[in-house]
A and B are shown apart, each in its own frame.
Chain A
Amino acid sequence: MRLLKNTNIPFVGMRKGAYLISILLILAAIIGLFVRGLNWSIDFTSGVAAKVDLQALSADVAPVEIDELRNALKTHGFPEAEIQRVGEFGSGTFMIKIKSANAEDAVSSDTKTQIIDIISESFPDHLAGRDINRDVIEEIYEVGPKVGGELRTNALLAVAISLILMIIYIWFRFELIFGLMAIVALAHDVLIIVGVFALSGKEITIQIIAALLTIVGYSINDTIVIFDRIREDLKIRRKEPLDQVINYSLNETLSRTVVTSGTTFFTTLSLYLFGGQVLNDFALAMCLGVIVGTYSSIFLASNLVIDLTKATHKEKQAAQHLSKRK
């Protein structure tokens, strides 16, 4: 069975349209970043996040309303608490988040104890017969300001360092211009995903950073397979112009690109659909990442190489240089 055989799609010819689409997406992402900003999770800002199950054992007790919980926390000194119901409508599980806006009013290591005390005082009926530590608290995270700030620095550093290392590797294996354009394509992928998170207001957690780095790894993988083919084709088709050779290579690798993207996409999709609440945003980032990463590998990275070599009149030189390498 073959999905795509001997295709001859003019990817290089379509590049102007692809650039336009990408520019529009990036603009949307940048606007999202400036207008809405990123919703950093408490991993990075410091604060407390607690997930509590307030479903009473007895059916006679009316379920807790979100406003009751908000009021209880407000009157006890946490007016800034964000509260969300987790799961389906009417479920008794809530996520409470208290972020410290700055280092001065940072939460102390007692904040979580205070929250638990407030809940047990305010909703005795709902907690009757249940062990607060074992049955009520599903999870609590408390992050001090020092650790939070460090994590953010480390996350940004991790993304930057991995990009630099990749440029160096591609430079070593191919040409500097290939490395640079691969990174432009990667930055494009990361920016668009981050833009989606900014626009939708979803939290940037540590797991999302991990997803972004995996997308980086995945997308570069795709791009390199194509570059590898270009390098090989340049040796065989010495006489033909660079853009034509690249178009051949894109078509030759298309089948592989589609199959691998497909299998990866379906696994991330199953993670998104069945992987449970905790992994939901992670899987979403991965799904989008596979789509954007595949798109940028096909339409951006190699095409950018063409335009840049043309602009710098180094077309011949680059082709010669590459075809000599192994």
Chain B
Amino acid sequence: MKKFSWRGLSIIVFICVTAFYLAPLAIPNLPEWWAKNKLKLGLDLKGGMQILLEVDTSALSAADARGAVDQNIKIIRERIDQFGVAEPSIQKLGENRIMVQLPGVSDFHAAENLIKQTAMLEFKVVAKRDEGKRVLDLIDSNINANLQFFPALAELDKLDKEIMAEDDSLAQPSSGVFSSLIRPGELDYEVQYDSVRLIQDLLADSLFQQMIPAGWQLALERADTSNPRADRIIHVLSSAVELSGADLAKAKVEYGSSTSTDPRIANKPYISIEMKREGARKFERVTADNVGKRLAIVLDNVVYSAPNIQERIAGGRAQITGRFTSQEANELAIVLNTGNLIAPITPASTSIIGATLGADSIKSGTMAGIIGLAIVMLFMLFYYKVGGLITDFALIFNVGFVLAMLTAFGGTLTLPGIAGMILTIGMAVDANVLVFERIREELDTGKTPRSAVDAGYKRATVTVWDANITTLIAAFVLYQFGTGPIRGFAITLTIGIIGSMFCALVFVRSIFDTFVVTGTKKTLSI
């Protein structure tokens, strides 16, 4: 039995750690706690979606802004969990950025919408027909008095007057220019498809908002996605918020039975909501006070439905119907359940990588790695004989070590990471080459193998350190300034350098000392 040495121990630890982290890649059916330490593939290899979100905290105070980003992260995480993505990663980057990685997600549009969607849910009472008429008339007269501020409407007014002017007996159109855009239907006011855009622009215009009498507001009803050119209903609502999203306990997607008489529900998904205790009381009061009127369910200023209140409703349950597809209903329910983002977010950059491209990249990356490794190993074997053979073993350990350490630190293998590893293969032999060349020189001066190996290692070690520290500096800077895949590259490069130094100065050296230059051997195969 050999006596204890630190070098021997470190090699045993090195091999055990490497084997521990690589085992899950090779052996199936390992116990759960072991198998979960498996090397993760980056998005560029697995396919998926990555979004960098920027949180706009300009409207918040400094203290609120910090909380807002964290709160947003929490909400986004909940939404993604409910959306059902395996192993999502949601990280805070810097002060006000959030990096979301969704492996395996191909429907980027739905995912992006889900993340940034807001849902301001409000219940508002709809004006009765005569009240609505009065509000519209008031808006009309306000606008007529301020027509110069609404160029689009002024244009229409001019056209109207030209048409009227053809008959001298008619000096003025019978109604104002604004109400000419809105036609009273059987039950509701309607906007023709051609005028929808104009109405939307007006509703978004803060000047127009001032034309609306206090206490009232206008809101379009949701477009019918199956019939996009249909006319849109516009509601006159009392602007008081009777109930809001804060009163909501939970939202759930349900499907209407095919026998239902309500065409909005029959055979279609809808969202059933349940209110909190206080919310249910408020709902009871609102319905009791407004029997005979209609209650609009408004989401992000769009009316989803406006059912008639037939009686006082207790228990705090309601439905949001609105010609949803099941995917829309699903996303909306998630957003309602997770609450609203505290501060608005915008995607600053997005990348989407298809699964096929990722698979191709793994294939060609591995191919290049194996070929590169084979060339280097063959060369070392021919050039340095036994020394080369030992180096080749060390090289394979080194590749294993890089993969194992990546796993240990929870890193992911990216395509640039594979490139970094292939590069490390080329550079990993450098420390050995330095040492071997030095040993050869020492042998040339007539030293015995034993003292040549000692002198060679001694002299080359300083050089190995100097040369590798500079490369480590480059890798370190890359890590600091890089993002995503580049960090992966920097990490692999760093681990590779450390591993190759260990392999050359400890691992190969030990084998040399133990097996190659034993006793009084006269020659050295190097």
A residues near B (Cβ < 8 Å) are 1-3, 51, 109, 112-113, 131, 133-134, 137-144, 146-148, 151, 154-155, 157-158, 161-162, 165-166, 169-170, 173, 206-207, 209-210, 213-214, 216-218, 220-222, 224-225, 227-229, 232, 252-253, 255-256, 259-260, 262-268, 270-271, 273-279, 282-283, 286
Contacts and interface: CB of A to CB of B under 8 A. Distances in A.
Contacts of B480: 158
B349 interface: yes
Given A1-B383, A256-B434, A225 B349 contact: no
B101 to A, nearest CB: 14
20 contacts: A109-B112, A140-B108, A144-B54, A154-B482, A158-B482, A162-B478, A169-B470, A214-B493, A217-B473, A217-B474, A220-B474, A253-B437, A256-B437, A263-B376, A264-B426, A267-B422, A270-B371, A270-B422, A271-B372, A274-B371
A155 B471 contact: no
A228 B463 contact: yes
Interface stretch (B238-246, B276-284, B354-362): B354-362
A145 to B, nearest CB: 9
Interface of B: 44, 52, 54, 106-109, 112, 346-357, 360-361, 363-365, 367-368, 371-373, 375-376, 379-380, 382-383, 385, 415-416, 419-420, 422-423, 425-427, 429-430, 433-434, 437, 440-441, 459, 462-463, 466-471, 473-475, 477-478, 480-483, 485-486, 489-490, 493
A167 to B, nearest CB: 10
Contact of B473 (A112, A165, A228): A165
A268 B376 CA distance: 11
Nearest to A161: B477
A326 B441 CA distance: 21
A279 B419 contact: yes
A162 B365 contact: no
A275 B419 contact: yes
Closest 10 CB pairs of A and B: A276-B364, A217-B474, A264-B426, A267-B426, A267-B372, A217-B471, A158-B481, A275-B368, A162-B477, A270-B372
A260 B429 contact: yes
B364 A274 contact: yes
Contact of A224 (B385, B441, B467, B475): B467
B471 A282 contact: no
Contact of A138 (B357, B433, B437, B490): B357
Nearest to B374: A270
Given A141-B351, A158-B478, A169-B473, A113 B109 contact: yes
Nearest to B108: A133
A146 B53 CA distance: 12
A260 B348 contact: no
Contact of B355 (A134, A162, A275): A134
